[in-house]
């Protein structure tokens, strides 16, 4: 310290106003001691206290609150009027408003351009910018606001948060400190202090980032843990259970009102709501398919429409779309705006999910809070969640397919065994009709099993089919399965049927519904035996298929089934999901000694 003070004193002696003074060495020694004891020590105490106040800001606070609190300390220490922070957003190439003291966020522009602005110049140069008179500064456009607040001069200090990984980018911004004096002269000491406090603020944000990264990994582990825990269950993985377990894990990241996973058709013309949280309160019913053109945000995220807004009420980037104000934005439909208002949704996040460069799914997050932006680590967590949910969805479909393979596989084996026996007998002409029939059935069933396997990725095209004819065919396959499983004393009854009972659906879906219901009805028949019967009928606008079996279902189980909860197995769970997709209904009636399932689909009327 003495050597530094000696240098200061020697520099002081060279000043013109000091040269004429006659001072002894004892005077200069006493001056150095006084400066160290009374000036430098006190000054350093103040600096250390101010640095500690900034460094000790709670890193668990949101970034905007951290920045607002830090600017308050800077304002108070420098005797300024106010201060604000802007962060450079490389995706929009604009400076984003990100906190101020006193808070004037509602009156500040969300974005200002990088080019031609003071904030932008500081970010690009990495050096402080001093403005003695704002009213005469061309680069500062919003002069009316600063004049109204009695602000006339400005010191803009660079803020930089270094990256942690090579793939990341440094976060750059600016702290703008406002003073009431016009023509103010900024001392080098003020500038150095402001730069020091800005660097300590960078430390706080970096510490928050480290904590966020740790929690991000914890969230990822929790998501994977929940999914794998459900993989080991007897009933297999079910998206409803996965959503209910995983989404609450994100509560401290975003206050989710609801969220949904959508799949996208290969031509980008339609989307299907695959899963949602909480179930039953989504904008579209789970399993419903609808046109992408119904929501402008969907078209933008899929690259079917150019974004033409000014960024006032939404943030559009390659990684996500954030609707900051659902009521003022132009990229969501009027119906979605009404839904947002009714459910207190104040911001909506859309995240695209890619497979080999193509968007196959996307997720939406409806938040109660009005978010201005999401951090990179938050977006990373949502992307990870989406990718894991896509895997879970594929595993769910695989579980469904494996379950639905059973009946056609058993029946096909039975028909093949009988066909082989006929061929071994060598009486081809005598059994010609039966051989042809068995070959046709084997061809249909093996083709259907192939289609089931392929339906993990797609379900073909909607077709108009005869419900009665499909029910009869599936009944015949179930009949063969009963024979192969040696189930005794089962009386089978068919009819009456309504001919030409046409419905529009994915045929494989309707076949799976009937297979599962017939399989469950067969298993429910008591060991002593009973009846399994089917019929079809019309009921107004509905085409109806009825499956009745001996054996009464408990009322509690009936209510649970009507809510789509299913049982310990998987068949009814699959059935209810498919019926939602088909836009139909399923009813369960329990009488004294019988249970009846009624499948209802809208009748297809020819135009």
Residue 287, token pair as written in the block:
């399993």
Q: Which residues pair with 308 in a beta bridge?
A: none
Residues 246 and 368 in one domain: yes
Angstrom distance (rounded) from CA 323 to CA 314: 4
Q: Are residues 244 and 376 in the same domain?
A: yes
Give residue 154's pLDDT: 92
- 66, 48: one domain: no
| Of residues 461, 275, 433, 467, the one with CA closest to residue 353 | 275
Task: Please provide the DSSP assignment of 367-398 as one string.
Answer: ESS--S---HHHHHHHHHHHHHHHHHHHHHHH
Residue 92 has pLDDT above 60, yes or no: yes
Query: What percentage of residues in the chain have a pLDDT greater than 70?
Result: 80
What mean pLDDT is reported for the chain? 78
Task: Write the DSSP string, 201-268.
Answer: HHHHHHHHHHHHHHHHHHHHHHHHHHHHHHHTSTT---HHHHHHHHGGGGTTT--EEEEEEEEE-TTS
Same-domain status, 114 and 201: yes
The CATH number assigned to the domain holding 187 equals 3.30.450.40
pLDDT given at position 544? 93
Domain membership of residue 284 (yes or no) is yes
Last residue of a domain, one of 210, 239, 254: 210
Q: How far is CA 387 from CA 126, 194, 351, 390, 399, in A?
A: 38, 44, 11, 5, 18
Question: Do residues 38 and 85 share a domain?
Answer: no
pLDDT in tens, 502-513: 888 878 788 888
Residue 400: which pLDDT band, with cuts at 50, 70 and 90?
low
User: Does the CA dihedral 364-365-368-373 come out positive or negative?
Assistant: negative
Q: Does residue 180 sit in the same domain as residue 48? A: no
- Does residue 68 or residue 581 have the better pLDDT? 68
Whether 98 is in a domain gets the answer yes
Rounded CA-CA distance 131/139 in Å is 10
- The answer to whether residues 69 and 49 belong to one domain is no
Q: Is pLDDT of 22 > 80?
A: no
Residue-level pLDDT at 536: 92
Q: Is pLDDT at 560 greater than 70 in this prediction?
A: no
Q: Which of 218-227, 272-281, 299-308, 371-380 has the highest mean pLDDT?
A: 299-308
The per-residue pLDDT for 451 is 66
Identify whether residues 468 and 546 lie together within a single domain.
yes
Q: Which of 109, 105, 123 is nearest to 174 (CA)?
A: 123
Tell me phi and psi for residue 57, to 5 degrees: -60, 135
Per-residue pLDDT, 1: 47
Handedness of CA 325, 327, 330, 335 (dihedral sign): positive
Domain identity same for 66 and 9: no
Whether the pLDDT of residue 55 is over 60: the answer is yes
Tell which wins on pLDDT, 219 or 54.
54
Length of the chain (residues)? 607
pLDDT of residue 32: 72
pLDDT at site 18: 72
Contact indicator for 289, 461 with CB cutoff of 8 Å:
no
Percent of the chain with pLDDT over 90: 6
pLDDT score, position 148: 82
What does the alpha-carbon distance between residue 108 and residue 64 come to, in Å, rounded to a whole number? 14
The answer as to whether 275 is a domain residue is yes
Highest mean pLDDT among 336-350, 441-455, 567-581: 336-350
Under 8 Å between Cβ of 100 and 83:
yes
Pair (576, 605) in one structural domain: yes
Structure confidence by residue, pLDDT tens digits, 482-540: 776 667 788 888 889 988 888 888 787 888 888 888 888 888 888 888 888 999 999 88
Taking the mean position of all CA atoms in its chain, how far away is CA 436?
53
Same-domain check for residues 1 and 73: no
Check pLDDT > 90 for residue 166: no
Measured between its terminal Cα atoms, the distance across the chain in Å is 96
CA distance 585 to 602: 9
In a domain, 117, yes or no: yes
Choose the weakest-confidence range: 31-35, 401-405, 476-480: 401-405
- Residue 68: inside a domain: yes
Residues 6+ apart with CB under 8 A from 416: 438, 442
**Is the pLDDT reported for residue 403 higher than 70?**
no
Q: At CA 76, angle to CA 116 and CA 124, rounded to 5? A: 20
pTM of structure: 0.52
The two tokens of residue 195 are 């730069």
**Which of 345, 349, 346, 347 minimizes the C-alpha distance to 378?**
349
Last residue of a domain, one of 345, 367, 387: 387
Domain assignment present for residue 450? The answer is: no
Q: 270 is in which domain, residue-wise? A: 220-387
**Last residue within a domain, chosen from 387, 411, 434:** 387
Give Cβ neighbours of residue 444 (< 8 Å, ≥ 6 apart): 473
Least confident of 216-220, 402-406, 419-423, 553-557: 402-406
Maximum C-alpha span of the chain: 138
What is the per-residue pLDDT across 23-35, written as a single tens digit (0 to 9) for each? 777 777 777 777 7
Establish if 157 belongs to a structural domain.
yes
- Per the CB < 8 A criterion, the answer to whether 445 and 477 are in contact is yes
Q: Which CATH number covers residue 584?
A: 3.30.565.10
How many structural domains does the chain have?
A: 4
Same domain for 257 and 224: yes
376-381 contacts, C-beta under 8 A, 24 or more apart: 376/168, 377/209, 377/212, 377/213, 377/216, 378/253, 378/254, 379/319, 379/320, 379/351, 380/216, 381/216, 381/219, 381/220, 381/250, 381/253
Identify whether 330 is part of a domain.
Answer: yes
pLDDT at 87 over 80: yes
């Amino acid at each position: 310290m003495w050597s530094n003070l000696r240098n200061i004193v020697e520099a002081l002696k060279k000043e013109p106003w000091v040269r004429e003074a006659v001072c002894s060495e004892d005077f200069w020694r006493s001056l150095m001691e006084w400066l160290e004891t009374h000036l430098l020590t006190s000054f350093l105490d103040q600096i250390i206290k101010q640095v500690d106040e900034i460094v000790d800001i709670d890193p668990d606070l949101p970034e905007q609150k951290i920045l607002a609190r830090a600017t308050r300390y800077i304002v108070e220490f420098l005797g300024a009027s106010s201060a604000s922070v802007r962060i450079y957003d490389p995706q929009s190439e604009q400076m984003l408003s990100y906190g101020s003291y006193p808070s004037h966020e509602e009156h500040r522009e969300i974005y200002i351009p990088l080019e031609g602005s003071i904030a932008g110049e500081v970010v690009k140069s990495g050096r402080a910018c001093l403005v003695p008179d704002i009213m005469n500064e061309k680069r500062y456009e919003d002069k009316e606001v600063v004049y109204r607040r009695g602000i006339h001069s400005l010191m803009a200090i660079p803020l930089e948060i270094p990256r942690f990984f090579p793939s990341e980018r440094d976060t750059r911004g600016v702290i703008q400190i406002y003073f009431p004096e016009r023509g103010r002269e900024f001392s080098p000491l003020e500038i150095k202090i402001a730069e020091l406090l800005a660097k300590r603020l960078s430390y706080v944000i970096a510490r928050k980032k480290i904590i966020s990264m740790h929690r991000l990994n914890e969230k990822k582990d929790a998501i994977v843990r929940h999914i794998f825990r459900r993989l080991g269950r007897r009933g297999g993985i079910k998206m409803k259970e996965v959503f209910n377990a995983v989404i609450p894990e994100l509560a401290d990241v975003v206050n989710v009102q609801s969220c949904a996973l959508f799949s996208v058709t290969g031509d980008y013309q339609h989307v299907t709501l695959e899963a949602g949280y909480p179930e039953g309160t989504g904008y579209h019913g789970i399993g419903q398919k609808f046109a992408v053109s119904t929501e402008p945000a969907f078209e933008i995220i899929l690259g079917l429409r150019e974004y033409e807004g000014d960024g006032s009420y939404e943030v559009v980037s390659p990684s996500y779309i954030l609707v900051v104000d659902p009521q003022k934005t132009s990229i969501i439909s009027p119906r979605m705006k009404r839904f947002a208002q009714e459910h207190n949704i104040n911001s909506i996040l859309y995240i695209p999910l890619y497979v080999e460069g193509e968007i196959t799914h996307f997720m939406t997050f409806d938040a109660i809070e009005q978010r201005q932006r999401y951090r990179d680590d938050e977006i990373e967590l949502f992307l990870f969640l989406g990718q894991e949910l896509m895997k879970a969805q594929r595993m769910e479909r695989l579980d469904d397919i494996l379950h639905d393979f059973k009946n056609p596989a058993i029946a096909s084996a039975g028909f093949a065994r009988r066909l082989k026996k006929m061929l071994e007998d060598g009486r081809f002409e005598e059994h010609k009709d039966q051989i042809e029939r068995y070959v046709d059935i084997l061809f249909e069933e093996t083709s259907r099993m192939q289609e089931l396997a392929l339906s993990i990725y797609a379900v073909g095209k909607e077709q108009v089919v005869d419900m009665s004819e499909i029910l009869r065919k599936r009944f015949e396959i179930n009949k063969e399965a009963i024979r192969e499983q040696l189930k005794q004393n089962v009386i089978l009854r068919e009819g009456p049927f309504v001919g030409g009972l046409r419905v529009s659906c994915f045929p494989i879906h309707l076949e799976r519904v009937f297979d599962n219901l017939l399989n469950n009805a067969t298993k429910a028949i008591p060991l002593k035996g009973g009846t399994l019967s089917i019929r079809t009928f019309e009921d107004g606008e509905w085409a109806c298929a009825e499956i009745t079996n001996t054996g009464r279902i408990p009322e509690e189980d009936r209510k649970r089934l009507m809510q789509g909860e299913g049982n310990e197995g998987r068949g009814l769970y699959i059935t209810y999901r498919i019926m939602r997709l088909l836009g139909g209904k399923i009813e369960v009636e329990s009488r004294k000694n019988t249970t009846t399932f009624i499948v209802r689909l809208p009748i297809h009327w020819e135009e």
